[in-house]
Amino acid sequence: MADCLFCKIIAGHIPADQVYEDEEFLGFKDIAPKAPVHILVIPKKHIANLEELEGEDAPLMGRLQLVLQKIARDQGLADSGYRIVNNCGRDAGQVVFHIHYHLLGGSSRLNLD
């Protein structure tokens, strides 16, 4: 998707502070962190949001759960805990229309505003 910000990050056309990459997924620090640890985790496949998911994406999105777990562990959050947030559509305040999961941690008061 030529006009997608996160596709441009995946392609390396826009820099990002990456913390994880494999063939299917990318993890990078949110540019405006809302918690001491605020990582965005995305599939490299362009999917606009949860509403666009199809049955064939189920294995991919299942593997994403384990990537979230790995990144959380790598960030030292396994014991303290963490929150996963997905915003889908206008009323949720979705700004970037490439599906992404916010991984938030490092505080007992995780700000969702």
Asked if 46 contacts 7 with a C-beta cutoff of 8 angstroms, the reply is: yes
Neighbours of 15 (CB within 10 A): 9
Among residues 1, 91, 99, 5, which one has the least CA distance to residue 50? 99
| Residue 102 falls in the annotated catalytic set | no
> Shortest distance, CB of residue 29 to ligand 5GP, whole angstroms?
6
Residue 26 has phi, psi (to 5 degrees) of: -135, 140
Q: Residue for token digits 């405006």?
A: 32
The type of residue at 101 is: Y
How many residues sit in the footprint of ligand 5GP (CB under 6 A)?
13
**Between 2 and 31, whose beta carbon lies closer to ligand 5GP?**
31
- 1 contacts Zn ion (rule: CB under 5 A): yes
Residue 31 contact, options Zn ion, ligand 5GP, none, Cβ 5-8 Å cut-off depending on partner type: ligand 5GP
- 57 contacts ligand 5GP (rule: CB under 6 A): no
Q: Choose which of 76, 81, 89, 93 interacts with ligand 5GP (CB under 6 A).
A: 93
* Angle at alpha carbon of residue 46, lines to 29 and 33, rounded to 5°: 15
| Interface ranges with ligand 5GP (CB under 6 A) | 5, 16, 28-32, 40, 87, 93-96
